[in-house]
Structure 1
Amino acid sequence: MKKMIRAALLVAVMMLTISAQAQVKLGVKGGLSVSDVRVSGDIFKADNRLGYFIGPTLKVSFPGIGLGFDVSALYEQREARLTETAIKAHSVVKQQQVSFPLNTRYSIGLGRSTNIFFFAGPQVSFNVGDKTKSIINRAAEWRLKTSNFSVNAGAGATVLSQLQLSIHYNIACGKTGEVTMDSGTFRFDSHNNAWQLALAYFF
């Protein structure tokens, strides 16, 4: 029992020491995204278009071990053009959401104020725009889920201690919406992944 208590105290002291050394920085992040929309079946073809995202971000890093994490609150807008392959009719669909990514980071220092890093983590998003839209000359309906869960994986670089450039792929876990035709007779699941290029500035 005494050994277990000593071990627990040692772990607690180490955690407090690491927490005391943690560096916390607040910043703002923004960037561009390229939607990677996929619809089940071969009736619809999706052409990806540019979107954007912006919002506050918080970075916590632990000097000496290279580990850290970041969390953000981002307003996102993604777009794609859906084409019905038989009649060649198309419609632009838009997804507006507020996203909360939480990424674990591992950094490799290249000097006093420069490093490269790799990151991955979960993201929860809530749709704040129109969740239902008539498309393909009102022959179909695009319906988004109220919220969705996804994961991020990417890499980036920090320069001058304050500027951060990163690129990552956001992968939807499960469907993000569905397309219905003939008053719901035919249903096709949709998945909205995205490549995202971000620039962040930390104060």
Structure 2
Amino acid sequence: MKKFLNIMLIMVALTVAAPASAQIQFGVKAGLNITKANLSKGALSADNRTGFFIGPTVEATIPLIGLGLDASLLYDNKKIKVSDESGTYGYSETLNYIDIPINIKYSLGLGSMASVYIATGPQFSFNLDGKNIFEQSYTLKSSEFSWNVGAGVKLLSHLQIGYNYNIGIGKTAEINNLGDVIDEAYNKSFKSNTHQISLTYMF
């Protein structure tokens, strides 16, 4: 219930903040992500893994100046693999989140058919699993804060193709107390960064 209320508060705030003169479009966004867990140091390493995301999106653009705001409510499926140098320890996990990215977007027209844009802004993510991962070694955070930087093209006012880099701020998960199983050589926490390719259709 607390996660749901947080999501609703963010969406209401966005609606109130949109200028009265803005042109508002609704749409659907979907795409692929490549996630890597960033380990500060230690005997563990992480490999890139591919997942997906999908959900509704809304965009408000101020006419003439090309400046706007977009927000999405996305189901995000991430995959992470962690292993040690010897190959004796190796686990893959699927992580499920509700993501709310909120981006300031600037668009530059290339004629009546197309435009390019750059975008940046915060993202709020809520863990749907609420579980330990990697054989109970790490405990996921219930929510995460990250930052997006992206760019893309708009075609025919309806289709958008974009690239986004999501930078984790803070920890994604922390290690559990395993006694002698994992010693000081191993990371006590990690955070994840994600490359995303998206396709958006605006109605």
CA distance in 1, matches of 2:169, 2:35: 15
CA distance in 1, matches of 2:84, 2:177: 11
Equivalent residue, structure 1, for 2:120: 120
Give the direction of change, closer, same or farther, for the CA distance of 1:40–1:179 in structure 2 (3 Å limit): farther
Q: In the alignment, which of 144, 163, 174 is matched to residue 148 of structure 1?
A: 144
RMSD between superposed Cα atoms in Å: 1.9
The structure with the largest strand share of the pair is 1
Unaligned runs of 5+ in 1: 1-17
CA contact (8 A) 1:131 1:145 kept: no
CA distance in 2, matches of 1:21, 1:182: 57
Q: In the alignment, which of 172, 175, 181 is matched to residue 176 of structure 1?
A: 172
Where in structure 2 are the equivalents of 1:33-182 lying within 5 Å? 33-135=33-135, 141-180=137-176, 182=178
1:78-111 per-position Cα deviation (integer Å, ceiling 9, x unaligned) = 1121102245321102211001010000100011
**Over alpha carbons, which structure has the higher Rg?**
1
CA contact (8 A) 1:120 1:151 kept: yes
Q: State the number of aligned residues.
A: 182
CA distance in 2, matches of 1:96, 1:113: 37
Residue 134 of structure 1, CA deviation: 4.2
Equivalent residue, structure 2, for 1:5: none
With normalisation by structure 1, the TM-score equals: 0.83
CA distance in 2, matches of 1:122, 1:91: 30
Q: Which amino acid aligns with 1:201?
A: Y
CA distance in 1, matches of 2:93, 2:134: 9
CA contact (8 A) 2:165 2:196 kept: yes
CA contact (8 A) 2:130 2:142 kept: no
CA contact (8 A) 1:165 1:198 kept: yes
CA contact (8 A) 2:92 2:134 kept: no
CA distance in 1, matches of 2:134, 2:80: 14
1:131-155 per-position Cα deviation (integer Å, ceiling 9, x unaligned) = 21243xxxx6121100000000010
SS in 2 for 1:51: strand
Q: Which amino acid aligns with 1:23?
A: Q
With normalisation by structure 2, the TM-score equals: 0.83
